[in-house]
Structure 1
Amino acid sequence: MAIQKWLLFVFLHVHLHHLILAQPPDLEFSECGVNGDYTENSTYKKNLNTLLTSLSSKLDRYGFYNASIGQNSDIVSVIVLCRGDLEMEKCRTCVNNIAQQIVKSCPKQKGALGGYTECIIKYSNQSIEDTQSIFSPYFYSSIKDASGSDEFNRELRKLLDSLRVVAPDDDRKYASGNATGPNFQTIYALVQCNPDLSPEDCFDCLTEAYGDMSDCPCNGKKGGRIFTNRCNFRFETYHFFREMTFKAPPAGELHYSSE
């Protein structure tokens, strides 16, 4: 009898441990919309569940997907994007984890934004076109100040400007790189647009996002991120992305302007 109780205890302990391990981690960031709530048994909730449960299987080869289902007050639109250096298997896992967690962070709101370092989801009760202006911008900041902040910001801006030239002509609308800041510290950064943007729209989106830097708590910090609905960028003083090869635009074929 004693051995049976011991075996039962071991089985329950292992089973509980596996259940705990199976739970996705809490979202690193989230924001709930203010454009209305839905009820538990509503058509909106059913449409939302349909979208969220199918996201990982709908991703394109760049880790991007957007769609709308439903009509009138029951319409649900979603945009999902994985970081440009992420392998597809990890991208799908990341998206699956958000899909499970975001409704816990925003349990009844018709709009929500949330994600991890490597992927992000946004959904709303507005059309895809209208969704572009819902959660913009979203700031995320390190708590540590950069040494020589003025020089740090100058070198960071040079780096971001160089990446802004490369990303629009990349199929993934993504670019990453590094530069040397004050006191020989290395600054790492990446920029990314939704892959469905034109090169010109990607460049313009990043230009606008850079303009929000002065309002970001990350200004003068060692790291930070700015998300808009169509593009985002991140910088750190540690290497946080996988190295990729980027094709520089041919000389004389750059037609973008930040003016």
Structure 2
Amino acid sequence: MYSSYSLSERLVLVHFLAVQLLLIRSVSSLNLTNAYLHHKCLVNQGNYKPGSEYEKNLNFLIRSISTENFKSGFEGLSFGEGSSRVAIRFLCRGDSYGSICFPCYATAVAGLRRRCERNKAGIIWYDQCFLEVSNIEIPVPRKIDQENSFSMHNPSNVNGDIQSFNKKTEDFLYSLIPIATRSPGAGNEPIFYAAGETMLGTKKLYAMVQCTKDIAVCKGCLEWSIGQLSKCCVGKQGSRVLSTTCNLRYELYPFMREDLKPV
């Protein structure tokens, strides 16, 4: 019964929190974070009322997603018709697939509900995932989403030749694109994720690139994102560019799991 959802929701969230507590020790030992990064309430798609058909459909989709949905790191689901349609897209960072990403999903659901209360649509980004909820059918394949994008950077600047650092960093990011878009085998789709490290003088650079699996041209999205670095992040020790179709990040310290590979 939909009328009993408030109780069911609490039980589901309690389960989510229990999973988070079980994983927090291993995450901390790897010096990983899942910090909130940014959100955007898509107010042009309107609001929904408590008990409405839209809310029932939203709750149904939220409850229907489990760790099984995150094996490939990405999920896109929709349910309902017309003004009551709900579409959800969710992406796990490439080193956080499966059950490891499930707590981030719980965090994202709670965060979006709180920050975009009663909005039919919104987007929220965390270190290890992003969640998009929409009232309209999300077209597939997706075009590059330049509208819903943003950048962040480390407050510290690099020492020495900034121009050389930027050039070598961008070159390394470009070198990851063919890896991300390469098919892992006959009949299999590209993983759309690549990460690596390289030496820049005496410093080691860590970087990753990733696309959602419903994007039309991953290569074009990542090239566009690399181009944004010159507008936001020149000479910074770490930077990232994120959207709803692809993202990238580089740092002078490790920020990803090394032992978990996407499937």
TM over 0.5: yes
TM-score scaled by structure 1? 0.75
Q: For 1:172 and 1:215, how far apart are their aligned partners in 2?
A: 28
Judge which range, 130-139 or 104-113, deviates more.
130-139
**Partner deviation per Cα, 1:35-81 (whole Å, 9 max, x = no partner):** 22222232222222222233334514212100121222222211101
Map of 2:167 onto structure 1: 154
**Partner deviation per Cα, 1:226-253 (whole Å, 9 max, x = no partner):** 112221111111111123699xxxxxxx
Cα gap change, 1:145 to 1:110, in 2 (>3 Å): farther
Q: For 1:112 and 1:28, how far apart are their aligned partners in 2?
A: 14
**Partner deviation per Cα, 1:137-180 (whole Å, 9 max, x = no partner):** 22222222222332221111011010011100154211011223
- Residue in structure 1 matching 2:42, options 18, 33, 55: 33
Map of 1:230 onto structure 2: 245
Tell me which amino acid in the other structure corresponds to 2:250: F
Does the CA-based 8 Å contact 1:225-1:235 persist in structure 2? Answer: yes
Q: Mapping of 1:79-228 within 5 angstroms?
A: 79-129=89-139, 133=145, 136-147=148-159, 148-169=161-182, 170=184, 171-181=190-200, 184-197=202-215, 201-216=217-232, 218-228=233-243
Pick 1 or 2: higher relative contact order, CA cutoff 8 A, min separation 6. 2
Map of 2:254 onto structure 1: 239
Shift of 1:213: 2.2
Q: For 2:135 and 2:258, how far apart are their aligned partners in 1?
A: 37
Does the CA-based 8 Å contact 1:174-1:193 persist in structure 2? Answer: yes
Tell me which amino acid in the other structure corresponds to 2:192: K
Stretches of structure 1 that go unaligned for 5 or more consecutive residues are 1-17, 247-259
Give SS of 2:206's match.
Answer: strand
Does the CA-based 8 Å contact 1:153-1:220 persist in structure 2? Answer: yes
Q: For 2:63 and 2:260, how far apart are their aligned partners in 1?
A: 33
Tell me which amino acid in the other structure corresponds to 2:63: T
Give SS of 1:129's match.
Answer: coil
For the pair shown, which has the larger CA radius of gyration, 1 or 2?
1
Count of matched residue pairs = 224
Give SS of 1:235's match.
Answer: strand
Cα gap change, 1:40 to 1:195, in 2 (>3 Å): same
Q: For 1:245 and 1:23, how far apart are their aligned partners in 2?
A: 18
> Which consecutive segments of 4 or more residues in structure 1 shift more than 3 A?
21-28, 130-135
Judge which range, 55-64 or 145-154, deviates more.
55-64
Stretches of structure 2 that go unaligned for 5 or more consecutive residues are 1-13, 21-33, 185-189
Does the CA-based 8 Å contact 2:49-2:55 persist in structure 1? Answer: yes
Judge which range, 22-31 or 40-49, deviates more.
22-31
Does the CA-based 8 Å contact 2:211-2:247 persist in structure 1? Answer: yes
Does the CA-based 8 Å contact 1:69-1:77 persist in structure 2? Answer: yes
